[in-house]
Structure 1
């Protein structure tokens, strides 16, 4: 006898009776197999009558199974956005000769991409599983391309941050001839960070929307814009916390752009989604997280515009922006997981899409049509 994980989905079965011990067994039309119960001649249904519900599913189980992702994945979503935005900000500081902002942004990028990678490996269970994703490149796979973006960004940020640490310590590290090679490769590494920063900040949105989770999939056209705006909030907020206001001009400009993008991207995304698939974004914990995310983004943006030249106001505004980004990522993550638990979020949008296709003259279609 073999067992699988799907055995747990089966309803409990009544004890089997020995062959020949049941008499009077017969089949009645429309009522399934019947047998005589312990209460005399009254016939007991073995298979209960089916109940037709608008959004019923097999044995009451979800139509789609949520991925087994935990908070480690949501943490990676957030830290990956911080790292990507910091890489872009560091490259801008490199081009405009702002050494303190460049150093802090590079160190922030390396720290967040390192901790985020550890969170990702913790979810995978074994480090070699991440290395296995680097064996090939599949242009059609967001996970494959994202793994290569993560590896390239991590390598370039490590080179750039190593040069910053060497200068910070007065070049007292015993690097020998490696020092010249390191500082020679530093500008190219900084440029690579800027090039890979945006893909790192946004590819996770493509990865989520490529799944069958109703809310993520329904937002597939606009979720990357929300994630990129969220990354801009996080990176600029962290830079405003760690860097004196004399060099945070690019970070404050990025913060204002990020707030504007965040406040526009979310309502536009929701307006283009199926209204039922968008419900998990407004209910329960995800709804509270996204509501507070918007409030903190507004507060941080106003503080940046009105008090960005004050060190304490700038730091407080940066903390609000950083927290806003975290709440956005965690809220979207939890909304997608929740949307897989109720069959309604899968079935009703599918039926609406099918009716629209048939109204347009496309017949013989399947109810699982995605577009």
Structure 2
């Protein structure tokens, strides 16, 4: 993932893009949406070149972070089955996330090269170091869960078992920034849909991560021990749905990218699945294992579709010059009005 993706190709001002109405010489009316096109039909912004690995990376990273938090809580409250599911699920999602990131970078050594520097002003650099700080605790806690019973009484087994709780708590400490940093990474790009939603995306991603982790817990743990997962699922689903609606109902043109086209379809499906999963979570999931599993699958699928829909909204907003020019003109008009005011 490169922070330069989505950078402007050239001037996005009125000189670089033309607005056309339906009639020659016709004046633009309030109800008409002008058609914008750039010179030679080229987009004002360079569309992101990322493929499916990136939204999948966004999902698995959030799933890992939420699972680490859930596992730490289960460990402290004496729920071994939920603790095991959270630790193993979190580490498995971390491995998948790392693999997807390396696949997107193209060559494994590029991930290593990012560790040569620490740049606080770069979300990508900060996120890389968060991932590095989070990984050892997650891996050590998962290793303790996979330790064969025959080795638990040995000296290495005892040492690993004793280190499991501190390791799990270490992973949980870095889990919130791990869940949110990808939202910061997207919103600090020049992609209009992502940058315009920069105040909401971190809350959307953390709510989605919580819902996904809770879904995994309900899918793999008996209902009698999955109470914390159900509560986290209800809270995460509410945060995800409410924040998604806030993203869609901001003033201006840019929110249209989230409600139309492929992005709109993915996000509507996400909302339906998340709401259905949340409803089952607070009702039948506490009494029925099949219902709990179905609710967990719905929350997982809703979280994944939310990431893919957000990604598609960003791509769509770079392909239509209106998403760049209309907000820019609105800011210029507002500045002119401020200068003209007595």
**What is the TM-score with the length of structure 1 in the denominator?**
0.80
Q: Does 1:288 align with 2:288?
A: no
Structure 2 equivalent of residue 65 of structure 1: 46
Encode CA deviations 1:230-252: one digit per residue, 9 max, x unaligned.
11110000110011111101000
- Compared with structure 1, are the counterparts of its residues 51 and 61 closer, same or farther at alpha carbon in structure 2 (3 Å cutoff)? closer
Deviation at 1:362, TM superposition (A): 8.7
CA apart distance, 1:184: 2.8
Are residues 1:206 and 2:184 paired? yes
Residue of structure 1 aligned with 2:281, choices 304, 318, 321: 304
2:17–2:39: 8 Å Cα contact kept in structure 1? no
Q: Give the C-alpha shift of residue 177 in structure 1.
A: 4.0
State the alpha-carbon separation in 1 of the partners of residues 52 and 165 from structure 2. Answer: 35
Number of equivalent positions: 311
Choose between structure 1 and 2 for higher RCO, CA contacts under 8 A separated by at least 6 residues: 2
**1:222-261 map, 5 Å:** 222-261=200-239
Q: Secondary structure at the residue paired with 1:56?
A: strand
- From 16, 19, 34, the counterpart of 1:53: 19
Cα separation, 2, equivalents of 1:357 and 1:238: 49
Unaligned runs of 5+ in 2: 1-8, 10-15, 21-35
Worse overlay, 178-187 or 113-122: 178-187
CA distance in 1: counterparts of 2:303 and 2:57, whole angstroms: 13
1:79-131 deviation line (CA, Å, top 9, x unaligned): 11110110110111111111110011000001011011101101101111111
Partner of 2:296: 318
Separation (CA, whole Å) in 2 of partners of 1:178 and 1:359: 72
Based on CA coordinates, which of the two structures has the bigger radius of gyration?
1
- Alignment match, 1:93: 74
| Residues in 2 aligned to 1:52 and 1:160: alpha-carbon distance in whole angstroms | 58
Distance 1:362 1:194 in 2: 53
Structure 1 residue 275, shift from structure 2 partner: 2.8
- Contact (CA 8 Å) 1:219, 1:270: kept in 2 or not? no
User: How do residues 20-169 of structure 1 correspond to structure 2 at under 5 angstroms?
Assistant: 52-54=18-20, 55-166=36-147, 169=148
- CA distance in 2 between partners of 1:152 and 1:313 (Å): 36
In terms of fraction of residues, the more helix-rich structure is 2
- CA RMSD in angstroms, aligned pairs only: 2.0
Contact persistence 1:78–1:325 (CA under 8 A): yes
CA distance in 1 between counterparts of 2:290 and 2:165 reads: 32
Residue number in structure 1 paired with 2:307: 329
Distance 1:218 1:52, change over 3 A: closer
Q: Does 1:266 align with 2:244?
A: yes
User: TM-score scaled by structure 2?
Assistant: 0.87
CA contact (8 A) 1:110 1:158 kept: yes
Name the structure 2 match of 1:339.
Answer: 317
Equivalent residue, structure 1, for 2:151: 172
Q: 1:159 & 1:250 partners in 2: Cα distance?
A: 23
The SS at the match of 2:115 is coil
Give the Cα separation in 1 of the matches to 2:335 and 2:245: 26
CA distance in 2, matches of 1:267, 1:108: 29
SS in 1 for 2:214: helix
